[in-house]
Chains A and B, each alone.
Chain A
Amino acid sequence: MPTQEEVFEKVRGALVEALGVDEEEVTPQATLVGDLGAESIDFLDILFRLQKAFNIKIPDKELLPQDILTNPEYVVDGRVTDAGIAELRKRMPFANLDSFAANPNVQDLANLLTVADMCRFVESKLATAG
């Protein structure tokens, strides 16, 4: 099991390659979309690089559970319902969803993900893979 630092190094490497950003820009607090300029298609690229770097399988819907975000049971008028938030918390334990829950515009979810969230996500995958 790699250390937190090793995970961060590899995540940073994947983000630098996928997004063409400088290493210094990839801080734990940096948001993938807002600060590092990731577009939705980049998430596929990032996940693929992480799979190669850590030799694990990551279905793309696990990082951002699109099935919840497109489910009318959980999204009404472009906003995630309380039940949807609860479901997201269950599926995304690696992310801090408190600020999203305060103003849950469905479009904003991807914008909240930080590099630290990505590292925790990878660590959770490594824990289940191991």
Chain B
Amino acid sequence: MRLEHKIALVTGGSRGIGRAVVQRLAAEGAEVAFVYQSNREAADALVAELAAEGRTVRAVQADVRDAEQAQQIVDDIVARHESLDILVNSAGIVRDGLLGAMTAEQWREVIETNLFGAYHYCRAVAQQMMYQRRGSIVNLSSTAAEFASRGQVNYAASKGGIDGLTRGMAKEFAPRGVRVNAVAPGMIDTDMSKVVRGLVGARLNDIIPLRRIGTPAEVAAVVAFLAGDDAAYITGQVFRVDGGLSLGGY
């Protein structure tokens, strides 16, 4: 198995793409701890589902905006396993609204969760991965970072920040054996995209060249590839997983 003996940490792991990432990393042999914010039932169900398949997965409740918690979680993993090979920053939220009506709270909540959250966890693992001279970080970006949608300036800004964080950190840490990449999903079948999918309606399949929305598992497959040694020569890249949505044109 591709990720056997790898120790992984996934934020936002109980739902949506994060959940699919936990499933995929575990299926490839990694020992996974994932962070969830509030949905204990979903987290427990995922742990139970994977335990039934013989996978070791652990759920930790935390708010990704809390830097101290991030460090504690990372320190705990290192104390248990003496290493941490993979970090996937998947925790993310939307608080959509047109800019003219967007409150500072909507802006702050999204930036703090999506961007500060990733920063806190990147920073928490940085020294350990540098110490090991080994590690792979995959941040969840979005095609929204590059392609504008109405009502999502906060989300787009947070994901644009993720792209910058990914490239900058990749450059800093590459000489120390740590790779940092991002995956930018387009329209994926999750609760988070429900509202947008509802607004665009049936036209969606005409806009996407592959004529369908993507599945969380299809995003998780790319995350798992980047997390593992098959991607040993790739760092600082943002990979779109969007069925060709970003190709534009006619």
Contact = CB atoms under 8 A, between A and B. Distances in A.
**Chain B contact surface mostly:** helix
Measured as residues with beta carbon below 8 angstroms from the partner, the interface class of chain A is under 10
Contacts of B130: 41, 44-45, 48
B172 interface: yes
A49 B132 CA distance: 10
Nearest to B173: A41
A80 to B, nearest CB: 26
Interface in B28-82: none
Interface string A27-57: 0000000000000010011001100100000
B131 A41 contact: no
B131 A52 contact: yes
Interface of B: 126-128, 130-131, 172-173, 176
A57 to B, nearest CB: 11
B131 A49 contact: yes
A48 B176 contact: no
A97 to B, nearest CB: 27
17 contacts: A41-B130, A41-B172, A41-B173, A41-B176, A44-B126, A44-B127, A44-B130, A45-B127, A45-B130, A45-B131, A45-B176, A48-B127, A48-B128, A48-B130, A48-B131, A49-B131, A52-B131
B134 to A, nearest CB: 13
Contacts of A44: 126-127, 130
Of listed A41, A49, A52, residue having the most chain B CB within 10 A: A41
